[in-house]
Amino acid sequence: LRHLVIVLGDQLDLHASGFDGFDATTDAVWMAEVAEESTHVWSSQPRTAVFLAAMRHFALALQAAGRPLHYTRLEDAGNAGSLAGQLAADIARLRPVGLLMTAPGDWRVLQAIKAVAASAGLPLDIREDRHFFVTVREFAAHAKGRKSLRMEYFYREQRQRHGVLMQDGQPEGGQWNFDADNREAFGSAGPGLLPPRASFEPDAITRDVIALVQARFADHPGRLDSFAWPVTREQALQSLQDFITHRLPLFGRYQDAMWPGDPWLYHSHLSAALNLKLLNPREVVAAAEAAWRAGHVPLASVEGFIRQILGWREYVRGIYWTRMPAYADGNAMDAHEDLPAWYWTGATDMACLRDALAQTLAHGYANHIQRLMVTGLFALMLGVEPQQVHAWYLAVYVDAVEWVELPNTLGMSQYADGGLMGSKPYVATGKYIQRMSPHCQGCRYDPAQRAGDRACPFTTLYWDFLMRHEQALARNPRMALQVKNVARLSDADRQAVLERAGAIRRGEVGHG
C-alpha cells in the first residue's frame, strides 16, 4: 500500500485535495466511526446521526468511484474507540508507505493525527482544503497588523477578489450592505404559510444509524424521531435548490425573525451539508447570485445570504486557525457560572428559551438569531463560563464543527475573546426578543420589568451585566449609551436587580 488517504466525517467530498493523484491500484481510503467523536463533548443524537449517516453514504460513493476503502463501523468488534487509536491499529495492519489527507477542520484532530504519524514514523502529507474561498495563509495576511478584525472589510475584499455580486469593480446595487432593508419581524399577522422544510425520509442505511445511535448513545441529548436531514450529495443539492426557489426571496427580510414552533422560516438549513462538505460554498454562492441575475430574488436577500457564506463562514474559519489553541481558553469577561442544567432538557419556563431549546433537541437545529440572541445572550448575561457554553454548542447542533462553532460561541456570542471578533458584547433586554417574536405574549415574565416577581430574566440580567462590568465597559465607546443608562440607576434600583439576579443564578427563577 502506497498511500492511506485519511477521510474524516466532515470531509465527504470526492473532489477534495486529499484525492488528487489517487491511484486505485496502490492507494486506499481510510475512514472510521469512533465513539470518542460523540463523547469528547456530549454529542446530541441528531448530530451523531447526521455524521454517521453521511459517512456511510459517502462510503458507497467511494466504492462507486472505484476507490478502495478501509472503513471501521462504530459497532465493529475491536473498534479502538478513538481516531488516533483506530488509525494506529490500521497502520500496523495495512503498512502504508505514507499518510495523506485534506487539512482537517479541528485543531484537536490535527494534533492527534500528527502524533500517530510521528509515532509510526510515517510521512504525513496534509493538503490545503480548497473547499474554502480563502486559505488560512491568506487570512493571516489579511489579519496581519490589525488590532481587531472586522468581518465587513474582509467580506468586501472577498467580493472583489472572487467577483461576487460585482459590476465593473463596484458592488451591485451601489452598496455593500443591505442590512437596513433586511431584518424585519413577522408582525402581528404572523408569517402566514411558510414553505415546508426540504426533508429526506431516512433510507435503510440512515434507519440503521438511527437505531445504532439510539441504542449506543441512549443517554445523549436530543431526539431522532423527526430526522430528515440531507445525508448525500444528491440530497444536499436538492436542499440547495429548494432553498433558492422557496426561501431565498424572503431570506434577508426575515433573517432575524423568530416564530414559536418554527425554527426553519426562510433560512437555508444548509449548514450541516456545507460543513460535512457535501456542498461546496462556491456552488451555493453561484446559485444564489444566478437566482438574482435571473430576476427571481431581490438583491438585498441575496447579498444578505452571500454575506453569511462568503463573509462570516470564511472569516470565522480564519480566526479559528490563526488563533488556536489559545483561543479556546478565552474568558475576557471572567465568567465562571455553570451552564444551567435545563439547557440540556429544555425544562425552563422562559417561553423564548423553551422554544429554542425544544427545537434544538428535536432537530439539532436552531436559527442564527435563536443561537445568538436567545441561548447565547442568556448564557453571556448570566455569566456562564465560556468553555461550558462552547461544549454545549459543539454538542447539540447538527452543523457543529469546532472551526465554525468556537469563534461564533466564544467570540461573537460570549465576547470571551475580548473584542477580537465583535466590537462590543451583544447584550439586550427581553425587549429585543419581544420585538423579533411573539414569544413574550405567551410568557409568564414581562420584558419591560427588570426587578420583582414578573421581571423577565433577560431584562434583569441585562442590567446586572452592565452593573457588574460598568467600569470595563465604560472604556468602550460603543457601549457609552448603555453605560450612561446604568449610571442613572438609584441604589434601590441596583439592589432590586441584584436580588432578582441572585435568585436567577440560584435557579429559583427560570426552571420549568
Q: Which residues bind ligand SF4 (CB under 6 A)?
A: 350-352, 430, 433-434, 439-440, 443, 445, 447, 456-458
The stretch near ligand FAD (CB under 6 A) out of 55-63, 183-191, 304-312, 337-345 is 304-312
What minimum distance in Å lies between the beta carbon of 187 and ligand SF4?
17
- CB 390, min distance to ligand FAD, A: 9
**Contacted entry of ligand SF4, ligand FAD, none for residue 274, CB cut-off 5 to 8 Å set by kind:** ligand FAD
Q: Which is nearer to ligand SF4, 212 or 504 (CB)?
A: 504
One-letter amino acid at 4 equals L
Residue 456 binds which one of ligand FAD, ligand SF4, none, with CB within 5 to 8 A depending on kind?
A: ligand SF4
Shortest distance, position 464 Cβ to ligand SF4, whole Å: 14
Residue 127 pairs in a beta bridge with 102
Grid cell locating 290: 444566478
**Residue 270 binding ligand FAD, by CB under 6 A:** yes
445 binds, among ligand SF4, ligand FAD, none (CB under 5 to 8 A by kind): ligand SF4
Q: Pick what 291 binds: ligand SF4, ligand FAD, none; C-beta below 5 to 8 Å, kind-dependent.
A: none
Q: Is 164 in the site for ligand FAD (CB under 6 A)?
A: no
CB 199 within 8 A of CB 243: no
Interaction between residue 360 and ligand FAD (CB under 6 A): no
Contact between residue 268 and residue 297 where contact means Cβ atoms under 8 Å apart: no
3-state helix, strand, coil in the chain (%, to 5): 50, 5, 40
Regarding beta strands 69-72 and 98-102, do their DSSP bridges make them parallel or antiparallel, or are they unpaired?
unpaired
Look up residue 338 and give its DSSP letter: P
Q: Rounded to an integer, what distance in angstroms lies between the CA atom of residue 341 and that of residue 20?
A: 47
Partner touching 434 among ligand FAD, ligand SF4, none, CB below 5 to 8 Å by kind: ligand SF4
**With CB cut-offs between 5 and 8 Å by kind, which of ligand SF4, ligand FAD, none does residue 415 bind?**
none
Partner that binds at residue 102, options ligand SF4, ligand FAD, none, CB closer than 5 to 8 Å by kind: none
114 within 8 A of 124, measured Cβ to Cβ: yes
Q: How far, in Å, CA of 366 to CA of 378, rounded?
A: 15
Q: Which of 268, 301, 348, 434 binds ligand FAD (CB under 6 A)?
A: 268
DSSP secondary-structure letter at 324?
T
Residue 309 CA: distances (Å) to CA of 158, 219, 285, 290, 415: 11, 34, 7, 15, 22
Q: Is 367 in the site for ligand FAD (CB under 6 A)?
A: yes
275 makes contact with ligand FAD (CB under 6 A): yes
Question: Of 400, 440, 451, 473, which lies in the binding site for ligand FAD, with binding defined by CB under 6 A?
Answer: 400
The three-class DSSP label of residue 159 is helix
Q: Which stretch binds ligand FAD (CB under 6 A): 135-143, 166-174, 268-276, 339-347?
A: 268-276
User: Could you say which of 274, 288, 433, 451 contacts ligand FAD (CB under 6 A)?
Assistant: 274
Least CB distance from residue 459 to ligand SF4, whole Å? Answer: 7
| Range 186-215, binding ligand FAD (CB under 6 A) | none
| Touching ligand FAD, residues 228-267 (CB under 6 A) | 267
405, 434, 443, 451: which one contacts ligand FAD (CB under 6 A)? Answer: 405
Q: Specify the residue, 126 or 406, whose C-beta has the smaller distance to ligand FAD.
A: 406
Name the helix (H) or strand (E) containing 166: strand 166-167
Residue 312 near ligand FAD by CB under 6 A = yes
d(CA 179, CA 113): 42
- The option from ligand FAD, ligand SF4, none interacting with 458 (CB < 5 to 8 A, set by class) reads ligand SF4
Residue matched to cell numbers 489517487: 22
- For residue 316, the partner it binds in ligand FAD, ligand SF4, none, with Cβ less than 5 to 8 A by kind, is ligand FAD
Q: Which is nearer to ligand FAD, 30 or 305 (CB)?
A: 305
- Per-residue H/E/C for 234-266: HHHHHHHHHHHHHCHHHHCCCCCCCCCCCCCCC
Task: Say how far apart CA 353 and CA 373 lie, in whole Å.
Answer: 10
How near is the Cβ of 42 to ligand FAD at its closest, in Å? 15
Report 282-301 residues binding ligand FAD (CB under 6 A). Answer: none
Q: What is the largest CA-CA distance in the chain?
A: 79
Binding at 443: pick from ligand FAD, ligand SF4, none (beta carbon under 5-8 Å per type): ligand SF4
Length, in residues, of the chain:
512
What backbone phi and psi angles, to 5 degrees, belong to 89? -65, -40
Phi and psi at residue 372, in whole multiples of 5°? -80, -45
The residue within the footprint of ligand FAD, chosen from 159, 253, 277, 313 (CB under 6 A), is 313
Q: How big is the chain by its Cα radius of gyration, in Å?
A: 23
Query: 19, 5 in Cβ contact below 8 A?
Result: yes
- Which is nearest to 303 in space by CA: 204, 176, 120? 176
* Chain centroid, CA 323 distance in Å: 18
For residue 99 the three cell numbers come to: 499518510
Which stretches of the chain bind ligand FAD, using CB under 6 A? 267-271, 274-275, 308-309, 312-313, 316, 367-368, 371-372, 376, 393, 397, 399-400, 404-405, 408-409, 412-413
